[in-house]
Structure 1
Amino acid sequence: MKIALARHGETPYNAEHRFQGHLPVPLTERGREQAHELARAAATRDWGALYCSPLARARETADIVAAAIGHHPMEDARFAETDCGDWTDRFFADVQAAEPELFAAYQRADPAFAFPGGESFAAQQLRVLEGIDAVRQGPLPALVVCHRGSIRLALAALHADDAQRTAEVPNASLVDLP
């Protein structure tokens, strides 16, 4: 294991099934508990560096992890969640009712999918992979606290397996990269 990705703890938007995109959504109390569990798991390993998405939920999780592993989180915007564009702040059910075909493409993580007024999965995947390449040039092993979408797209590319695009990635989970 040289690089591991971790998903941030739960947010109110996760619990409500709502698109948060780049909004500064904090963790819930449960999310902070999950971040402490992640920190305990991370503390069982030696790390050379800690990186995180600059979004509030990832940074809050990374700060909790940092206290346990002794590294200051370095923010890297390449690990941010997808810009959800016009869907930001909307409930999944509302979007599904209004735009069922486009929502279905989102759910199956179609590589050609792009959020209306936002970012495409293809663009996000490129920036996440650029971030991973940059992390590989620094101290290893490294931990990156980021988002479900970022983790899924990294796994799909690095495993050359599109099924990873819809992989289950629970809040505060730790995923080793190949």
Structure 2
Amino acid sequence: MELELTCIRHGATQWNKERRYLGHTDVGILQESLIELAPVKEALKGRSFRKVFCSDLKRCRETLDWIYTVSADQVVFDNRLREMDFGEWEGRTYDQLKHLDTYRNWLSDPESSTPPGGESWGHFQGRIADFMNGLTCFTKEESKDNQLLIVAHGGVIRQIATMTVPGSSFWDFSADPGSLLTLKLTFDGGKWTGYVG
């Protein structure tokens, strides 16, 4: 059975604009980002989704409120869809961190280095995998409508795509604020695989 995921990154925040690391810090979107989200809102007009999943952080909730009307029983606010927790690097920029050995090590090999007080790459991947494994319930229910909407963060969307598109890597996918990425997936051999559609 196929599953179609429409993945949308939240609208831009002030920290995004200032190119600051933004993980679990709970800030809202900029008013001006509503204009940037208009094409996504238009693309979703008239569409229906079997279920809507949204990060529980404010910037994703505000984005969902603006782009798509959904009933309370149809949406799940899921903290597994949060961006990576950057710990002590939250709110800081590349220029503020580039002199730190730990930061440079993390940039070159994020799987073997962790932001101080933050989340390891393995933990981040694990919770995204846990979320994706939970979607197998949709393969057990016969339905012509297997379209899901996910409103989340850039790192989360890239990780979902990396896990499911064979031969891809994390930076192969664009996930700018307010962008939309559609994945068409099949659950086979105990894992989701598919392509960008």
TM-score tier (shorter): 0.7 to 0.9
Q: Deviations over 1:102-158 (max 9, x none)?
A: 434444563334221110122111111211222342573111100011111112221
CA-atom RMSD in angstroms? 2.3
- The structure with the greater share of residues assigned to helix is 1
Q: 1:176 aligns with which of 178, 182, 197?
A: 182
Contact 2:106–2:112 (CA under 8 A) maintained in structure 1: no
Q: 1:157 aligns with which of 149, 157, 163?
A: 163
Q: TM-score, normalised by structure 2?
A: 0.77
Alignment of 1:93-172 (within 5 A): 93-97=95-99, 99=100, 101-107=101-107, 110-138=110-138, 140-161=146-167, 163-165=169-171, 167-172=173-178
Q: Structure 1 162/110 Cα, relative in aligned 2: closer, same or farther at 3 Å?
A: farther
Contact 1:8–1:57 (CA under 8 A) maintained in structure 2: yes
What is the number of equivalent residue pairs in this alignment? 174
Specify the code of the residue in structure 2 equivalent to 1:54: D
Q: Aligned to 2:6, what secondary structure does the other structure show?
A: strand
Overall identity of the aligned pairs, in %: 25
C-alpha distance in structure 1 between counterparts of 2:49 and 2:117, whole Å = 38
Contact 2:103–2:115 (CA under 8 A) maintained in structure 1: no
Runs of 4+ in 1 over 6 A off after TM superposition: none
C-alpha distance in structure 2 between counterparts of 1:33 and 1:59, whole Å = 17
Q: Aligned to 1:38, what secondary structure does the other structure show?
A: helix
Contact 1:108–1:166 (CA under 8 A) maintained in structure 2: no
What corresponds to 1:51 in structure 2?
Answer: 53
- The structure with the greater share of residues assigned to strand is 2
